[in-house]
Amino acid sequence: MTSQIKGPAIFLAQFAGDAAPFNSLKDIAGWAASLGYKGVQIPTFDARLFDLDRAAESQDYCDEVKGICADAGVEITELSTHLQGQLVAVNPAYDLAFDAFAPARLHRNPQGRQEWAVDQVKKGAIASRKLGLDRHVGFSGSLAFPYLYPWPQRPEGLIEEAFAELGRRWRPILDVYAENGVSYGYEIHPGEDIFDGATFEMFLDAVGGHVAATINYDPSHFLLQQLDYLAFIDIYHERITSFHVKDAEFNPDGRQGVYSGYQSWINRAGRFRSLGDGQVDFSGIFSKLTQHGFDGWAVLEWECAIKSPEQGAAEGAPFIASHLIERAAKAFDDFAGGERDEAAIKAMLGL
């Protein structure tokens, strides 16, 4: 019997680099397989690993990519357009900071950058279909996030208009995903306008409950917000299509709390950790996801302020494997039961 949740898998974005084996899809896929991973989530924004423009145009290229991964012993779990999705909506306060996510020719050109990003994210849907995938992951971008804290007092209608505009920008993109039979799993993440359940609901309203608008579940961001990440699964499980397995810890003290005092990652009260080193209840999460029928991949996203990526990756595959659940095929107390007996039922109820 196999687990309903597939895995272990690994998001390659944080490991890609200019040195072997991290500088080509063939080599990094082989490295991942050697550590025990069965799937890889591919960042479409790293040309060393994947050519999104070519993938959207060429079935032959997509077949080649699938073959490279299969030869290495891994499957493709999803494509990611996190960085391009971020650029679909950028508040001017972040223009310079987010220029780095776009080609140099588009720097200091917000309109051109956004048009490029929209085209890229749409190509993500087409490339996913050509690869035989029905799930995709990424960011929403943000217009309202600089106004997260309600001081100074926000003008009436500011947040409503921000989400209305976010919906106007994303609905045509989501239509392309639906046309290609692919869902777009938004990573619910601080820095995006969709950063918790309430904001996801606001966005869902803005896109008319679009069938392609789903969730890439990552509990690390919820722990740092002190949100109940297990209850989140109960509430939103029908929209959860992807799963980033990432750990975090929150250790408030007399000097800092949730906002962590502008400190560096290693000195923050809330910080990301390698799997098993933080405070996230993964046994509870895997149980909840299994209970609610999640059948996607469990994908390691490694981010840690202390441990090396090599050690984090090596420890991640067995950690995920140990949490996969073989769902019970029958109830534990079936041995004490019997066939349905209508007469007995009526007698027991006095009917």
Give domain limits for the chain. 6-349
When pLDDT is cut at 50, 70 and 90, the band that residue 330 belongs to is confident
- Indicate whether 186 pLDDT > 70: yes
Other beta carbons less than 10 A from residue 113's beta carbon: 23
User: What mean pLDDT do residues 149-167 have?
Assistant: 97
Question: Taking the CA of residue 142 as centre, how many other CA atoms within 13 Å lie in the half-sphere pointing to its CB?
Answer: 21
How far, in Å, CA of 249 to CA of 254, rounded?
17
Q: Which is more confident, 126 or 336?
A: 126
Terminal Cα-to-Cα distance of the chain (whole angstroms): 42
* Residue 333 clears pLDDT 80, i.e. is over it: no
pLDDT, one tens digit per residue, over 53-91 is 999 999 999 999 999 999 999 999 999 999 999 999 999
Taking 70 as the threshold, does the pLDDT of residue 138 lie above it? yes
Is there a contact between 8 and 37 (Cβ–Cβ < 8 Å)? Answer: yes
Q: What are phi and psi of 183, to 5 degrees?
A: -95, 150
Type of residue at 204: L
| Residue 1 scores a pLDDT above 70 | no
Q: Is the pLDDT of residue 96 over 90?
A: yes
> What pLDDT does residue 336 have?
67
Judged on CB neighbours under 10 Å (0-12, 13-18, 19+), 172 is exposed
pLDDT value, residue 328? 79
Q: What is the pLDDT of residue 3?
A: 86
Model confidence at 25: pLDDT above 70: yes
Residue 337, pLDDT above cutoff 90? no
Portion of the chain with pLDDT greater than 70, in percent:
98
Contacts of 142 (CB under 8 A, 6+ apart): 86, 89, 90, 91, 94, 191, 192, 193
Q: What is the CA radius of gyration of the chain?
A: 22
pLDDT at 329: 77
Strand partners, 299: 9, 244
pTM beyond 0.85 = yes
Average pLDDT of the residues of the chain: 96
Tokens describing residue 216:
């890439």
Q: CB-based burial of residue 198 (10 Å sphere; 0-12 exposed, 13-18 middle, 19+ buried)?
A: exposed
Residue 331 has pLDDT above 80, yes or no: no
Residues 307/274, Cβ–Cβ less than 8 Å: yes
- Residue with the bigger pLDDT between 59 and 340: it is 59
CATH number of 6-349: 3.20.20.150
Taking 80 as the threshold, does the pLDDT of residue 332 lie above it?
A: no
pLDDT band at 339 (very low <50, low <70, confident <90, very high): confident
